[in-house]
Amino acid sequence: MTSLLKRLVRTTTLCITAAALPAVWAAGETVTVVTPLAAGSASDVALRIVTEKLALALAQPIVIENQTGASGAIGAEKVARAVPDGTTLCGCNNAILGVLPHLRKVPFDPAKSFKPVGMVAVLPTALVVNPSLPVNNVQELVAYVKANPGKVSYATGGVGSAQHIAMSMLEAATGMKMLHVPYKGASPAAVGVASGEVHVMFNAIGTVLPMVKAGKLRAIAVAGAQRTPVMADTPTVAEQGVPGYDYASWIGIVAPAATPDDVVNRIAGELTKVLRSPDTIKRLADNGIDPSVMTPAQMRDYMASDHARMARVVADAGMKE
């Protein structure tokens, strides 16, 4: 089959697919996915991989708009107040929807301002240290921190970030206490640990994996309940003497609360197909990211549970912005 014929077949297939689905947008109308997260972050990478495929499935252009500021509140509010017609969506993570409302008053309600569309990905998280730190596992880290009070620091992407939550949970579970050094984003924080400015941090595997491979960081644990294929030889925190420890950041898509169900269901249906495609799975895995498929109803319940869990973590850690 010639390349021209392949393109014609592909275009015809898209047109047939679009015609078979209920019309919810004007032809060629752009769908904007606002994400209150920095370009190049693991969450941003996941959104871009998935929405590239989703645009083809919906036969609608999709653009990512990185709207950072106020720990994500500005971007989230923009979507909450947007016209609820499916042309403006939000790519939000648990730090924005699950944690931030417990830290301060925000101009949106995670449960009432948005209608869940679907999960996009879980971002497997690794515990990494600067190679100069004389620890090779969680037990050694805990022992070293307790033997050197006030001398060990950890980096995060900011107060209430995924990295802050993960480390606060580990401190609470082990009784160790380190100095918190917040950076303006997860990527600069990883660079801070690699350069030796800070000693240790939790971060998305997709963000730190190149530094681990280059020997600039040493991975000593993964934070989830199970090992991840991309770091198959790295044991979980729970395997290393912290039973029950389980943390993973997530990124999902939500719409303004009044968005019609038929619009949400159409996007959700195509999103599920995209996330289950072998090509998407491989591209996400190559970036240290695991796809996560949830219906709108499942995501609503998951968000509610995560919101309650994060309230306890924030309170136990005495976390304040």
Q: With 70 as the cut, is the pLDDT of residue 1 above it? A: no
pLDDT of residue 321: 67
Chain mean pLDDT for the chain: 89
Ordered DSSP codes for 97-146: IIIHHHHS--SS-TTTSEEEEEEEEEE-EEEEE-TTSS-SSHHHHHHHHH
Cα–Cα distance between 185 and 163 in angstroms, integer? Answer: 10
Express each pLDDT in 43-69 by its tens digit: 899 999 999 999 999 999 999 999 888
CATH (one of 3.40.1190.20, 3.40.50.150, 3.40.190.10, 3.40.980.10) for 125-240: 3.40.190.10
Instruction: Sort 217 into a burial class: Cβ within 10 Å, 0-12 / 13-18 / 19+.
Output: buried
What CATH number should be reported for the domain whose range is 26-121+250-317?
A: 3.40.190.150
Structural element, H or E, at residue 169? helix 162-174
Cα–Cα distance between 47 and 66 in angstroms, integer? Answer: 11
Hey, where are the domains in the chain?
26-121+250-317, 125-240
Express each pLDDT in 276-298 by its tens digit: 999 999 999 888 888 999 999 99
Per the CB < 8 A criterion, the answer to whether 117 and 299 are in contact is yes
Q: With 90 as the cut, is the pLDDT of residue 219 above it? A: yes
Is there a common fold for 26-121+250-317 and 125-240? yes
- Give the least confident one: 12-26, 175-189, 237-251: 12-26
Express each pLDDT in 17-28 by its tens digit: 443 444 456 667
Express each pLDDT in 63-121 by its tens digit: 999 988 888 899 999 999 999 999 999 999 988 999 999 988 999 999 999 999 999 99
Distance of CA 161 to the CA centre of its chain: 10
Structure tokens at 319: 């976390």
